[in-house]
């Protein structure tokens, strides 16, 4: 009896390994290893002419700390993530409550709303560069209709470019917050709202004292999730502004890309991106606390 | 009077709904419209809504054939199918094990896998290029497939864990009582049940590939090997001036497969987007 159960548990252990082993080995080789490799590279400098790697120790990191563009990229990234996130959360939650009315046709509009976030970011950039074109873009024509003449040159005036980038990010990603919060909102038991209504609570009070507290954990989760993603955004910057004009929209991610891909400064680029890895890991650790417990049954 | 207020409130609500729909769809529709224009007509404000089919044919012919988007699209579809199939073959058993089996540290393994989804891609682009060079597959489809599977796996596993979790455990317990092994339970009992999840995970992996160009630009040099997003990044980036009608057409050609894919999974998109982490 004992023998049988022993051999059985051995088999089970073996099965587990064959089920999950390939994924772990693959991710170890092609996901975790590159991350460690990148840490290694960050201590070197790539001499493109000689094709050699020179050891610098902490040299790249020291250079980064005294690099003006790095600090401006920190500010640009922080403003972008912060402002976009606040607007996306407010707008996304409002949308979720609005769609809670279940108007006719709202299902169809929801399907439209979901579209922006799956679109190719270079094409999203192109789309908005067309809309915001100073000569013929339809956006300026439209705001001209409601009385705003002489609008700024959205994508060329360094005073405005970061705000334009944030605006497009909001257009593309508010739906994400909406989708997550709305899913939670729909899963709430309806009797709570019913009884509040019967007790004569006003719609605003219901939102303030019942809806918002009940969806708050979904809101926090969606916000952290989006925050980390927005922090590592590179592609929209590439598609919309290419980091410019000047350094006005150079985010950390873009700065790292530029050093690696354009200037072949592999070590410097890796050191920059490693600072991002550490920040993203901190963000993820916070996120982990907010992931809803999976197995409910 | 109350009836009037109600009608008024309703109209405001519907007006808001229409505005929301327009804000969402307008930029995309504008891109479609620009792709039907002659180069000299781009400057018309507002653009005319009349569509000349001869111009449409000309624009799309230029993009699909002269700029070889047909072959880029075929190339992307090939790479996408290979990546999706490999990711599902590796990812499905792993998701099953993480959802069902009592593995030591299973929570930790799951969260480590999810954490990889949040790593900044710039951090791995250079090591991936160097590794692919080392394996002699840089500037080669295999050199794209290998990292793309690595990028897709965390997403696929997390989406599928969510779907496995929804199947009552009684079902596999019944199979086990009948003496089926874990592998057999997975293959014969559970996979048919999580099929919608497999479709969703596959489409999200595909959407990722149709949007990825950072690692792609590092790994691929030859025009003929570029996927659609990598070709886009070279052709219509903020850096490079291009005729707007052609650029818009490139945009439309890029978006159409994505739009079709998203329509196919409308129902499950929430689960996919949050990588199965929200229920």
B57 plus B126 within the same structural domain:
no
- The more confident residue out of A24 and A295 is A24
A8 plus A75 within the same structural domain:
no
A173 plus A282 within the same structural domain:
yes
Chain A positions touching B122 (Cβ under 8 A) are 232, 234, 253, 256-257, 260, 269, 272-273, 276
Chain A positions touching B146 (Cβ under 8 A) are 30
Domain count, chain B: 2
What is the pTM (predicted TM-score) of this model?
0.88
B180 plus B57 within the same structural domain:
no
Q: B131 and A40 in contact (C-beta within 8 Å)?
A: no
Check residue B279 and give its pLDDT. 36
Highest mean pLDDT among A89-93, B160-164, B193-197, B255-259: A89-93
Q: Distance between the two ends of chain A, CA-based, in angstroms?
A: 32
B99 plus B121 within the same structural domain:
yes
Check residue A292 and give its pLDDT. 63
Q: Kindly state whether residue A50 falls inside one of the protein's structural domains.
A: no
Q: Kindly state whether residue A121 falls inside one of the protein's structural domains.
A: yes
Q: Kindly state whether residue B181 falls inside one of the protein's structural domains.
A: yes
Q: How far out from the chain centre does Cα B272 lie? A: 10
Q: Kindly state whether residue A242 falls inside one of the protein's structural domains.
A: yes
Instruction: Give the domain CATH number at A112.
Output: 1.10.3720.10
Check residue A89 and give its pLDDT. 95
Q: Kindly state whether residue A178 falls inside one of the protein's structural domains.
A: yes
Q: Give the nearest chain A residue to B102 (CA atoms).
A: A16
Gap between the Cα atoms of A170 and A116, Å rounded: 10
B199 plus B250 within the same structural domain:
yes
Check residue A150 and give its pLDDT. 82
Domain count, chain A: 2
Q: Kindly state whether residue A51 falls inside one of the protein's structural domains.
A: no
Q: Quick one: pLDDT band at residue B271, thresholds 50, 70, 90? A: low
Gap between the Cα atoms of B198 and B194, Å rounded: 6
B28 plus B94 within the same structural domain:
no
Mean pLDDT of A226-242: 90
Q: What is the mean pLDDT of chain B?
A: 87
Quickly list DSSP for chain B: -HHHHHHHHHHHHHHHHHHHHHHHHHHHHHHHHHTTS-GGGTT-SSPP----HHHHHHHHHIIIIIT-HHHHHHHHHHHHHHHHHHHHHHHHHHHHHHHHS--TTHHHHHHHHHHHHTS-THHHHHHHHHHHHHTT-TTSHHHHHHHHHHHHHHHHHHHHHHHHHHS-HHHHHHHHHTT--HHHIIIIIIHHHTHHHHHHHHHHHHHHHHH--HHHHHH---GGG--HHHHHHHHSSTTS---HHHHHHHHHHHHHHHHHHHHHTGGGHHHHHTTT---
Q: Answer yes or no: is pLDDT of B91 > 90.
A: yes
Q: Answer yes or no: is pLDDT of B84 > 60.
A: yes
A6 plus A106 within the same structural domain:
no
Q: Give the nearest chain B residue to A283 (CA atoms).
A: B118
Chain B positions touching A294 (Cβ under 8 A) are 161-162, 165, 279
Report yes or no: B222 at the A interface, CB cutoff 8 Å: no
Angle (CA) A171 A174 A180, round 5°: 155
Highest mean pLDDT among A66-70, B38-42, B45-49, B244-248: A66-70
Report yes or no: A72 at the B interface, CB cutoff 8 Å: no
A27 plus A162 within the same structural domain:
no
Q: Kindly state whether residue A9 falls inside one of the protein's structural domains.
A: yes
Contact A16 B97 (CB under 8 A): yes
A14 plus A90 within the same structural domain:
no
For the stretch A35-50, pLDDT in tens is 999 999 999 999 888 8
Check residue B29 and give its pLDDT. 92
Chain A positions touching B16 (Cβ under 8 A) are 98
Q: Kindly state whether residue A54 falls inside one of the protein's structural domains.
A: no
Q: Kindly state whether residue A207 falls inside one of the protein's structural domains.
A: yes
Length of chain B: 279
B32 plus B165 within the same structural domain:
no
Q: Answer yes or no: is pLDDT of A6 > 70.
A: no
β-pair partners for A52: A47
Mean pLDDT of B16-41: 90
A21 plus A161 within the same structural domain:
no
Peptide bond into A245 cis (omega under 30): yes
Candidates A130, A136, A276; nearest CB to B123: A276
Between positions 57 and 76 of B, the ones with CB within 8 A of A are: none
Q: Distance between the two ends of chain B, CA-based, in angstroms?
A: 43
Instruction: Give the domain CATH number at B194.
Output: 1.10.3720.10
A209: distance to nearest CA of chain B, Å? Answer: 23
Q: Quick one: pLDDT band at residue B19, thresholds 50, 70, 90? A: very high
B34 plus B163 within the same structural domain:
no
Check residue B177 and give its pLDDT. 84
B126 plus B6 within the same structural domain:
no
Candidates A98, A176, A225; nearest CB to B16: A98
What CA dihedral angle connects A233, A237, A242 and A247, to 10 degrees? Answer: -80
Report yes or no: A86 at the B interface, CB cutoff 8 Å: no
Domain span at residue B229? 68-273
Angle (CA) B243 B245 B249, round 5°: 115
A6 plus A66 within the same structural domain:
no
- The more confident residue out of A254 and B63 is A254
The last residue of one of the domains, among B14, B40, B61, is B61
B54: distance to nearest CA of chain A, Å? Answer: 23
Report yes or no: B48 at the A interface, CB cutoff 8 Å: no
A120 plus A196 within the same structural domain:
yes
Mean pLDDT of B86-110: 89
B57 plus B78 within the same structural domain:
no
The last residue of one of the domains, among B12, B43, B61, is B61
Instruction: Tell me the C-alpha to C-alpha distance, in Å, between residue A273 and each of A70, A173, A268, B10.
Output: 11, 23, 9, 51
Report yes or no: B181 at the A interface, CB cutoff 8 Å: yes
Check residue A289 and give its pLDDT. 80
Chain A positions touching B14 (Cβ under 8 A) are 103
A237: distance to nearest CA of chain B, Å? Answer: 9
Tell the burial category of B237 from Cβ atoms under 10 Å away from its Cβ (0-12, 13-18, 19+): middle
Q: Quick one: pLDDT band at residue A295, thresholds 50, 70, 90? A: very low
A30 plus A89 within the same structural domain:
no
Check residue B272 and give its pLDDT. 63
B138 plus B177 within the same structural domain:
yes
Of A44-53, A167-176, B6-15, B39-48, which range is least confident? B39-48
Check residue A2 and give its pLDDT. 47
Check residue B274 and give its pLDDT. 57
Mean pLDDT of A178-202: 85
The b-or-e profile of A170-188 (16+ CB within 10 A means b, else e) is: bbbbbbbbbbbbbbbbeee
Contact A141 B98 (CB under 8 A): no
Q: Kindly state whether residue B278 falls inside one of the protein's structural domains.
A: no
A14 plus A78 within the same structural domain:
no
Q: ipTM of the predicted structure?
A: 0.88
**Long-range pairs, B166-172, Cβ under 8 A, ≥24:** B167/B193, B167/B194, B168/A297, B169/A297, B169/B100, B172/B100
A91 plus A225 within the same structural domain:
yes
Report yes or no: A94 at the B interface, CB cutoff 8 Å: no
Q: Quick one: pLDDT band at residue A92, thresholds 50, 70, 90? A: very high
Mean pLDDT of B100-104: 80
Q: Give the nearest chain A residue to B92 (CA atoms).
A: A19
Report yes or no: A239 at the B interface, CB cutoff 8 Å: yes
Chain B positions touching A125 (Cβ under 8 A) are 237-238
The last residue of one of the domains, among B46, B61, B76, is B61
Q: Kindly state whether residue B112 falls inside one of the protein's structural domains.
A: yes
B204 plus B116 within the same structural domain:
yes
Q: Quick one: pLDDT band at residue B278, thresholds 50, 70, 90? A: very low
Greatest CA separation found in chain B? 78
A120 plus A155 within the same structural domain:
yes
Q: Quick one: pLDDT band at residue A1, thresholds 50, 70, 90? A: very low
Contact B28 A256 (CB under 8 A): no
Q: Answer yes or no: is pLDDT of A108 > 90.
A: no
Mean pLDDT of B44-57: 84
Domain span at residue A211? 59-288
> Which residue carries 């595909």 as its tokens?
B206
Check residue B73 and give its pLDDT. 92
Q: Is A246 left (phi over 0), alpha (psi -120 to 50) or beta?
A: left
For the stretch B194-248, pLDDT in tens is 988 898 889 888 888 999 999 999 999 998 899 999 998 888 876 666 788 889 9
Angle (CA) B173 B176 B177, round 5°: 90
Rg (CA), chain A: 25
Q: Answer yes or no: is pLDDT of B276 > 50.
A: no
B44 plus B153 within the same structural domain:
no
């Amino acid at each position: 009896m004992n023998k049988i159960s022993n051999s059985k548990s051995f088999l089970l252990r073996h099965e587990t390994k064959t089920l999950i082993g390939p994924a772990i080995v693959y991710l170890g080789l092609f996901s975790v290893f590159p991350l460690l490799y990148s840490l290694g590279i960050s201590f070197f400098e790539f001499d493109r002419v000689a094709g050699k790697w020179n050891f610098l120790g902490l040299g790249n990191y020291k250079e980064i700390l005294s690099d003006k563009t790095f600090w401006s990229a920190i500010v640009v990234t922080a403003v972008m993530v912060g402002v976009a996130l606040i607007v996306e959360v407010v707008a996304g939650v409002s949308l979720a409550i609005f769609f809670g009315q279940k108007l006719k046709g709202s299902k169809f509009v929801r399907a439209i709303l979901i579209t922006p976030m799956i679109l190719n970011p270079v094409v999203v950039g192109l789309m908005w560069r067309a809309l915001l074109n100073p000569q013929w873009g339809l956006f300026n024509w439209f705001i001209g209709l409601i009385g705003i003449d002489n609008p700024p040159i959205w994508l060329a005036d360094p005073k405005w470019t970061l705000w334009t980038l944030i605006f497009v990010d909001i257009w593309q990603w508010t739906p994400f917050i909406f989708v997550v919060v709305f899913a939670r909102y729909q899963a709430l038991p309806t009797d709570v709202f019913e009884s509040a209504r019967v007790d004569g609570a006003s719609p605003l009070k219901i939102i303030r004292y019942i809806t918002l507290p009940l969806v708050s954990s979904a809101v926090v989760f969606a916000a952290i999730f989006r925050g980390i993603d927005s922090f590592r955004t590179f592609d929209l910057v590439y598609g919309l502004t290419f980091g410019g004009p000047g350094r006005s929209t150079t985010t950390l991610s873009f700065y790292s890309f530029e050093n690696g891909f354009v200037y072949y400064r592999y070590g410097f680029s890796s050191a920059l991106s490693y600072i991002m890895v550490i920040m993203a890991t901190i963000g993820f650790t916070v996120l982990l606390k907010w992931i809803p417990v999976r197995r409910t049954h | 009077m109350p009836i009037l207020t109600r009608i008024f409130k309703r109209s405001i609500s519907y007006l808001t709904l229409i505005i929301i729909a327009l804000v969402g769809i307008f930029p995309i529709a504008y891109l479609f419209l620009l792709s039907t224009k002659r180069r000299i007509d781009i400057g018309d404000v507002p653009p005319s809504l009349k569509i000349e089919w001869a111009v449409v044919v000309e624009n799309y012919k230029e993009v699909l054939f002269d700029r070889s988007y047909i072959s880029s699209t075929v190339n992307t579809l090939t790479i996408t199918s290979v990546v999706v199939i490999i990711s599902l073959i590796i990812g499905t058993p792993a998701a099953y094990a993480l959802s069902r089996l009592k593995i030591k540290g299973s929570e930790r393994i799951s969260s480590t896998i999810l954490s990889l989804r949040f790593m900044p891609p710039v951090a791995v682009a250079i090591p991936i290029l160097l590794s692919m060079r080392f394996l002699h597959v840089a500037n080669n489809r295999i050199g794209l497939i290998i990292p793309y599977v690595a990028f897709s796996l965390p997403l696929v596993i997390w989406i599928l864990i969510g779907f496995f979790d929804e199947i009552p455990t009684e079902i596999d317990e019944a199979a086990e009582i009948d003496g089926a092994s874990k592998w057999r339970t997975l293959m014969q009992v559970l996979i048919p049940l999580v099929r919608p999840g497999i479709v969703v995970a596959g489409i999200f992996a595909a959407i990722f590939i149709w949007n990825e160009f950072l690692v792609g630009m590092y790994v691929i040099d030859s025009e003929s090997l570029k996927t659609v997003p990598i070709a886009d990044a070279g052709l219509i980036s903020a850096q490079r001036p291009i005729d707007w009608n052609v650029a818009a057409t490139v945009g439309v050609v890029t978006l159409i497969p994505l739009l079709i894919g998203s329509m196919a999974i409308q129902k499950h998109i929430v689960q996919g987007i949050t990588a199965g982490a929200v229920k």
